Structure 1
Amino acid sequence: MGFLDHRRTWRYDVAASREACIEAFVRAFSGRGGLVAKASWEVRTTDRGALAIYLGRKGLGAAAGMLTDAGAREQDSAIGSEVALQIEKTGSDRTLCSVRLASSGRIGLPGLLGVTSDARFIRPYMRAVQDELRALDSSVIISHDSRPTNADASAYRVTSEGDTRATPARLEHLEQLVARGVVSRDDAADLITRDGASVRITDDHWQRISGMW
């Protein structure tokens, strides 16, 4: 699952019952997550499928995140994010279901670009759903939306021949500079300009911070 794949709606056509697919979803969010990116979830079954509610990081990821104010704020904004399983169609021997990030948190300058708070802790569990469904049916048919919702790599626009993309990594770095007092929040906000649906760093602004990256 790639950098923005948590923003896609994933569909699975599985040779399994509705109940088996819901149980697979519950197992995925009750599992271990990534090697470091582990999280706590509350999982509920619903009339249409199931819902996993993000309760925060755990393990080494939680300890590392609490070392910085930025990490703590990111986790706080992510708590309450929801991943939903919806049963779209079911028959005697097959089930069509979808999995999507139904709600999420955003914070700071990265949030201006639609960067999802704690996405690196959410993605492993969405990937685990795929693994659990594949365990039910090794020939599961997997599809997804052609473009991620709310954010897309094309929004990170190059505004000159130089590398002036307002990438999530750069915006996160700028947020860290603000947290350390190197750049004021007002100046940081002035560095980012909206252009329709995208956000970019202009050439003039870029010259002011090019030495900070």
Structure 2
Amino acid sequence: MITTLDPASITEAFDRADMTFWTRQAPQSDCARLRFLLTRTSGLDALAARLQTKEHVLSQVLAGNTPSGDRILSLRICREVIRIWQPRVRKRAHQKLIAEDGSIGVHFRAEFGFTAGAGSSDDPRLRLMSIWLSPAHTASLLRARERGAKEQELHSIVESATGESYFRVYASRLRAVTLKEIHFIHFSFHSAGS
């Protein structure tokens, strides 16, 4: 199920990380997943629009007849379930992390550039990095995620937080950070109390 998510998407990196909080597994078949999605949607027409398909196609899937070769639809169904599965469990876990001054580990390979003190470069280079964000940045990122921030806003927060964390570790003076062409990004959570 996790392999259906985009490794370069910050939103989907959160979905992967949040799977560690799940108290039970999400439905496994397309038919079961659609039945679940219908309980969270105003009808088959709205769900079809959300999944960028037609109602009659979803009716076939609900009848157990997934159109052969429609891997894209299966991926969309799976991603949508992962995105909304156990929202209260996730919210509680995020609130606990914020309350305990926890932090988010950001592990990525991307074009990372910066301008700072002598010897720094504004020419982004492909880098593999692992950084723990401050509790303040962790809270900011989790709150943005919870209110449904779009990919670009999450990218800006991660860019800023990563830059500040990186320069805090290496004791340089930060001027600007760029994080682009993400190849993959992964989040992990650490509670200060654990």
Using structure 2 for the length normalisation, give the TM-score. 0.25
Using structure 1 for the length normalisation, give the TM-score. 0.24
Larger strand fraction of residues: 1
Structure with larger RCO (C-alpha < 8 A, sep 6+):
2
Larger helix fraction of residues: 2
